[in-house]
Copies of this chain bind each other. A is one copy, B any other.
Amino acid sequence: MVQKKSSPQQGRRGRPRQYDPDSALARAAAAFWKNGYAGTSLDDLAAATGMNRPSLYAAFGDKRDLYLKTLERYQQQSRALSAQLLADSATLREFLTRFYDGALELYRAGEADARGCFSISTAPAQATSDPAVHAFLSESIRGTDAFLADVIGNARDRGEIAASGDPSALAQVATATLHTLAVRSRVGVPRHQLKALAAAAIDLICGTAPRQRPRPAGKRGGNGPPAR
């Protein structure tokens, strides 16, 4: 994917660019991720990407354009990750466990830098003043709900959860779990605690018998549910 973007560089007329657009976008996202949109200056972005301001403008437009592009990139990556995860999972429980595990890895919970979810940590502050950010965040949440509702609906069709369960409502609770993981990761709650939270939510969503058989979850399976 990196090569595909750098190969058309060959045959171009002028001075070759010294940056890779996608990795520059990733570094810009990291800067926004840490300090938010308004808290990140163009100097910060220039330092983070190794580019200078005119190159930034030529490549991505102004600060707002750049931020929106980092949001789009983040969304695309997240969706690709979720889709791939879905293909590898047999049951709803299995998928949701991997889904939250993947989110926590992205959020770096309790690790060196706890950064939380990029969009949930930075977009809400901007959503009231910037219609584009507002629209993005709104659509992003709606998309997550729809995706999870689809997954849960299929699981219900396979009989994995009660036929009386409403996939749409359960999906919103699943998204709620993602949101709380996003915020808690941001303040450095240790990952094993967040895994336990996710496991409890999964038990509630998948219903009835919590953990029917012990699954080989990560390392020592957290501290498990105290009761039951």
Contact = CB atoms under 8 A, between A and B. Distances in A.
Interface of A: 34-39, 113-116, 120-122, 124-129, 134, 137-138, 141, 164-166, 168-170, 172-173, 175-177, 179-180, 183-184, 186-189, 196-197, 200-201, 204-205, 225-228
Contact of A225 (B39, B128, B166): B166
12 contacts: A35-B125, A35-B128, A36-B126, A39-B129, A121-B127, A128-B186, A134-B187, A138-B187, A141-B184, A173-B200, A176-B197, A204-B205
A22 B205 CA distance: 43
B173 A204 contact: yes
Given A39-B126, A176-B201, 4 more contacts: A35-B125, A121-B124, A121-B127, A166-B228
Contact of A228 (B126, B127, B137, B164): B164
Contacts of A115: 128
Contacts of A187: 127, 134, 137-138, 141
Question: How many subunits of this chain does the assembly comprise?
Answer: 2
A204 B200 CA distance: 11
Contacts of A127: 116, 121, 186-187
A200 B170 contact: yes
A180 to B, nearest CB: 4
Given A183-B124, A183-B179, A129 B35 contact: yes
A206 to B, nearest CB: 11
Given A180-B179, A183-B179, A187-B137, A166 B36 contact: no
Given A39-B129, A125-B39, A125-B122, A169 B197 contact: yes
A183 B116 CA distance: 14
B169 A225 contact: yes
A227 B166 contact: yes
Contacts of A183: 120, 124, 137, 141, 179
B124 A188 contact: no
A36 B172 CA distance: 26
Contacts of A197: 169, 172-173, 176
